[in-house]
Structure 1
């Protein structure tokens, strides 16, 4: 069984992990608070939130299995080496649990603040996930911002904290790699590696949209009617795009 070679690096690893947990966990609240204050979800895309719930639910299953299951841990070591440390930490499991709960609550906000969608509308949108994504529609929130030429209704606080959490997560992984003199935890823990990489990439995109391309104006009206949450952005050949659900 692998163990830490440096007490200092072990402490740094845990500090970075819980800092990432705090940053990533707090990042959910600015959007929730914004929705509550506005009593509206205009500017927040339904597809984006639903995809987030799918992502975090899958990530929770992945983290919990690797952290708690001796069988899964044995399979990991058989594949990557019995001298390798399990790359999932307690902060990873805690974050995943919190992320699922807060994302589900955000979906609840969409239900109560955007009631005209209705159950039939939700079911129609869910059907779009059974098909293939168009290559130019891989991130519905980014597309919504582009179409509206605005980020009003989408919390930038969420993005800044998410970016910081992603960078800190990579820092935690680097510390473990340096201590173990092995980079297995990057490709052995591909879930954490990819979720951090994708988060950082889109966080940078959202920051460019918010601060450079579509800077907020005094004339921006957060109650504008073009709520794209009722108009799915993910199209398939079996479900043609329409103006309404």
Structure 2
């Protein structure tokens, strides 16, 4: 099994790996807390929530297989070389398992809190079913040849595709509403920090090994970071530049006369 050449780089990599873990893990809570405070999930796109949960499940399977399956590990080294370090760290598995639990709880909140006129579109349900069907087909293809690393790599690729898909509905939803109220910006900022820390962690391993094998061997993790960074920037621009919530609230209040404004202001403050 390959080992680190530099203790310093190993320490730096571990530090940024756990920074990514805590940032990405905590990033799920602002939305949960916001939903609880408002007793409402209006503003949270349900496509995003459903697809996010499915993505996290796929990521759990990939990371758990890479961490605990000796067969998958052997097939990985057979493809990328015996001297290559495994591209999955303990913090990756810990994050995936935690994220699956929290996103599952977010779906539970959707069932109990005020949804307004929002509902889970049939298209997101169809997308999830297609992904599960694809996963099942991959399993049947892998069984005869015992291609387990190929199988979990397929799951990893699917979770990256799901990551791209899950962000688009929320970004478009914000655009339609011309508002980001109900969608936690704290989630986005922590997500951004996690993505940056994740890239640095992988970079430290590449420098130490003098190889980009960890980027190519875990292409899903690499693409996950890049996609996350891109959409986080989009959400930040929407929240702070295009649709600043305070400005929107003040404009709404300015249009309301007297007692109506006073009564409505409380509702606006809660939603903003």
In the superposition, the TM-score normalised over structure 2's length comes to 0.75
Q: Deviations over 1:185-216 (max 9, x none)?
A: 00110121111111111000000100111111
| Larger relative helix fraction | 2
Question: Which residue of the partner structure matches residue 105 of structure 1?
Answer: 105
- Asked if 1 retains the 8 angstrom alpha-carbon contact of 2:57 and 2:100, the reply is yes
CA-to-aligned-CA distance 1:58-81 (integer Å, 9 cap, x gap): 111111101111000001000101
**Alpha-carbon spacing, 1:96–1:222, altered in 2? closer, same or farther (3 Å):** farther
Which ranges of structure 1 fall in alignment gaps of 5 or more residues? 225-245
Would you say the 8 A contact 1:152–1:222 is kept in 2? no
Aligned to 1:30: 30
Q: State the Cα distance separating 1:126 from its structure 2 match.
A: 4.8
Distance 1:41 1:52 in 2: 15
Measure, in 2, the Cα distance between the counterparts of 1:150 and 1:55.
Answer: 26
**Structure 1 runs (4+) greater than 4 angstroms displaced:** 115-118, 130-133, 135-138, 220-224
Paired residues of 1:137 and 1:143 also in contact (CA < 8 A): no
2:42–2:115 Cα contact (<8 Å) kept? no
User: Which structure has more RCO (C-alpha within 8 Å, separation ≥ 6)?
Assistant: 1
What displacement does 1:223 show?
6.0
Distance change (3 Å), C-alpha of 1:200 and 1:2 = same
Q: Partner residue of 2:178?
A: 149
Larger Rg belongs to: 2
Q: Cα gap change, 1:30/1:177 in structure 2, threshold over 3 Å: closer, same or farther?
A: same
What is the correspondence of 1:1-245 to structure 2 with a 5 Å cutoff?
Answer: 1-114=1-114, 122=120, 124=122, 126-129=124-127, 130=129, 139-216=168-245, 217=247, 218-219=249-250
Aligned partners of 2:165, 2:208: CA distance in 1, in Å?
41
Shift of residue 92, structure 1, vs aligned partner: 0.2
Cα distance between partner residues in 1 of 2:33 and 2:25 = 14
Are the equivalent residues in 2 in contact too, given 1:9–1:175 (CA < 8 A)? yes
* Aligned CA distance change for structure 1 residues 136 and 34 (closer, same or farther; 3 Å): closer
SS in 1 for 2:207: helix
Question: Number of residues paired by the alignment?
Answer: 221
TM-score, normalisation: structure 1 = 0.83
Partners of 2:15 and 2:38 in 1: CA distance: 36
Change in CA separation of 1:222 and 1:181 when aligned onto 2, cut-off 3 Å: farther
Q: Distance in 1 between matches of 2:54 and 2:74?
A: 27
Aligned-residue CA RMSD (Å): 2.6
